[in-house]
Structure 1
């Protein structure tokens, strides 16, 4: 299983790059995400964007491989990142965003044991926290058909189901604005 960290967003609402941002007393968000996946995965891949790629590579060092979305889907969202990972040969992915600073390895371990699932906590779906198998052809066809939404890809193309877990909802807070940190 390959861990895939989504770190290529533009962070428009956040105001600065979320992937490289560090909460006081914590490592950069992308470093935390990589560390969460390392005990569970044989390899971790981080999908960056051209603006943060070098800084992310410096932050994660040799703990993860840093890649970009493939052309012509550069900056087209998480499904483009999944395509990039599948082009490198990844078939089974454990997906994680970089902006859940309270997320634990234990919650990811539960998800890692349940393929073809995305997490659901307190009635809220977390599509960027998913475990699935796919291939390059499936992802390429989805994107070429004009589809971009991750939830539609997971549910429509892969038929993933929610994995309901009992956990503290604070662990699943996605920080999209610095004022919420």
Structure 2
């Protein structure tokens, strides 16, 4: 089973107070570069959704990822997700892992376990300490619905319409719940 990763990184980050994608982690890499490198360590292909006109080099992204631009990113995460999903017409993968660019602490072992549990006909969520986390993996059968998303609710509508196809995987990785919304979160 091949899984393509889609890293969503076209949001406005209004709670952070600046462009958090460029914020430095203790090792000097940008938040976004670290998140993308984690994905590249596990997935055969990684695509990163950026705002229209942005370049990978501006965030120190590795050469191994493909940038997808979301012209309507300012209208919400649904638009960015739709742009990323629409780019998959050339992909042979059977599942899509949707990662958030502000979640750099998900362990590679967790990403591998999720990839191994994915299927073309399910929506897979990691569960840590009873809470649903990220990334969410969508089987290929749901990709057409993802291309139709709008607004700021991400893929919630696709999940709700297909609850009977949702499965979970218990993980021992708090990174599936930990994102960066404020500068203080980088120091924890």
Shorter-chain TM-score bucket reads 0.7 to 0.9
What is the CA RMSD across the aligned residues, in angstroms? 2.6
List aligned pairs for 1:45-60, cutoff 5 A.
45-50=47-52, 53-54=54-55, 56=57, 59-60=60-61
Give distance in 1, aligned partners of 2:158 and 2:127.
Answer: 13
> Runs of 5+ in structure 2 lacking a partner?
none
Query: Is it true that 1:104 corresponds to 2:101 in the alignment?
Result: no
TM-score (norm 1): 0.80
Equivalent residue, structure 1, for 2:33: 31
List aligned pairs for 1:63-78, cutoff 5 A.
63-70=64-71, 73-78=72-77
TM-score (norm 2): 0.77
Give distance in 2, aligned partners of 1:57 and 1:66.
Answer: 12
> Runs of 5+ in structure 1 lacking a partner?
none
Give distance in 1, aligned partners of 2:153 and 2:126.
Answer: 17
Superposition deviation, residue 162 in structure 1: 4.8
Residue pair 2:6, 2:97 contacting (<8 A) in 1 also: yes
Residue pair 2:13, 2:19 contacting (<8 A) in 1 also: yes
Give distance in 1, aligned partners of 2:176 and 2:167.
Answer: 17
Equivalent residue, structure 1, for 2:17: 15
Of residues 3, 6, 15 in structure 1, which corresponds to 2:5? Answer: 3
Residue pair 1:30, 1:56 contacting (<8 A) in 2 also: no
Equivalent residue, structure 2, for 1:152: 156
